[in-house]
Amino acid sequence: MRCAYLTNGASLIGFTLSEGATRVFGDNDTECSAGGLYCASTNAYASNCVITLNASGYAGSGVSSGTLTDCIICTNFALVGRAWGAGALNSVLNRCTIIGNIALQSGGGVYGCSLERCQVLYNRAGIGGGAYNGDARNSLFVGNVAPQQGGGVLETLLYNCTVVGNTSGTTGGGYYGNFGTIRNCIVYFNSAPSNPNVSGKYSYCCLLANSLTDPNSFTNAPLFVDAANGDFRLQSDSPCINAGANSYVIGSVDLDGNVRIVGGTVDVGPYEFQSPGSLISYAWLKKYGLPTDGSVDFVDGDSDGMHTWGEWRGDTIPTNTASVLTIGSVTNSPSGPKITWQSVSSRFYYIQRADSFGPGAFQTIATNILGAAGTKSYTDTSATGSGPYFYRVGVQPF
């Protein structure tokens, strides 16, 4: 017998739902899912509940289809039938702990769920030991296992998450995915015969890989406070501080409930270090052997006219006078003026134009121009008059 059913608009607060089960044969959704809690939709709510030791004949042994806040979903089993999402299926989970659930097939912790500020710990499934098919923000995935792909996470979009200590029997010990890109994440200390940490696309991530495919990611060890005892917050000199991209931030607070962006740029991972010394990415500063205490942020160390903060925004080399964001030439072409500037492949640029100098004279005429190593050019086809025209190039915010 199932423990509880919630219709639309109903709430369940402060209950323990334990040792419920469903039929093995019948309607997969209504009769064979959610031994613990079945919800009519995500407009049914549970909070401050413990959902444990439940089983199902199909999927979602702990909970199916609801919105849960501050709940513990632990030690539920999906070992017959399709066996998906032993902990939770197709649900919205906020500040929940999903621990020790087992699915025979996929999504040991969660399947098809949207997670915000959750901890997914020590779950197991054939594929996607922690999570399969969904999204997660400001969340932690630790100790999950899959005999096949995706020990920690499989085909799930991640934003500001840490994926550590997960295991796969084939590939993608931490993360495996073909259909999306993970952003602002730490994926480290996972294990698998191939691609032990990541098999998939990533951007602005801290990960251990044989070779990086994203110029804004880095391989430096993340420097957790005490990983051996489960504290994955950042030490004061962690390269993950200020090393993310603000454009990928979802939510205003981190896993601890602290302010999500401190110092102007988001940290990589679910925890935001609350007192950074520098405004610059610590990973970028460490790359060039520069201090992270803020002492060089607005110092022009190589005398090229750009201080260190500006060099970081442009991803130019702060110890090389010849490496600086500058327009090299503006030449005429049959299609219009051609602007060429020093460029890097890790930044997007915008172009502004004016026909005179003065407040408000410069107007943006092009954005989101992906840079290239060495130089980049843009032809202004909208400059149809006789001029004169003045141009400037800037780096898009990230």
Q: What is the pLDDT of residue 271?
A: 98
**Ramachandran category for residue 40: left, alpha or beta (phi over 0 → left; psi -120 to 50 → alpha):** alpha
Given a cut of 80, whether residue 82 has pLDDT beyond it is no
Residue 281 pLDDT exceeds 80: yes
Q: What is the largest CA-CA distance in the chain?
A: 81
DSSP 8-class letter at 266: P
> Rounded to whole angstroms, what are the CA distances from 157 to 77, 90, 105, 142, 232?
24, 15, 20, 16, 20
Task: List, in sequence order, every residue forming a beta bridge with 341; answer none if it has no partner.
Answer: 327, 376
Q: What is the pLDDT of residue 97?
A: 98
Question: By the 8 A CB rule, do 54 and 19 touch?
Answer: yes
Instruction: pLDDT band for 25, please (50, 70, 90 cuts).
Output: confident
Q: Residue 393 is inside which H or E element, if any?
A: strand 390-395
Whether a cis peptide bond, with omega within 30° of 0, leads into 388 is yes
Distance CA 124, CA 24 (A): 21
Q: Rounded to whole angstroms, how far apart are CA atoms 257 and 368?
A: 33
Name, in order, each residue with C-beta under 8 angstroms of 69's C-beta and a sequence gap of 6 or more: 45, 46, 47, 48, 93, 94, 95, 96
What is residue 117's predicted lDDT score, i.e. its pLDDT?
98
What is the model's pTM? 0.94
Alpha-carbon distance of 156 to 133, in angstroms, equals: 5
CA 270, CA 360: separation in Å to the nearest integer? Answer: 40
* CATH number for the domain running over 327-395: 2.60.40
Q: How confident is the model at residue 83 (pLDDT cuts 50, 70, 90)?
A: confident
3-class secondary-structure state, position 236: coil
The pLDDT tens digits of the residues spanning 347-364 come to 999 999 999 888 889 999
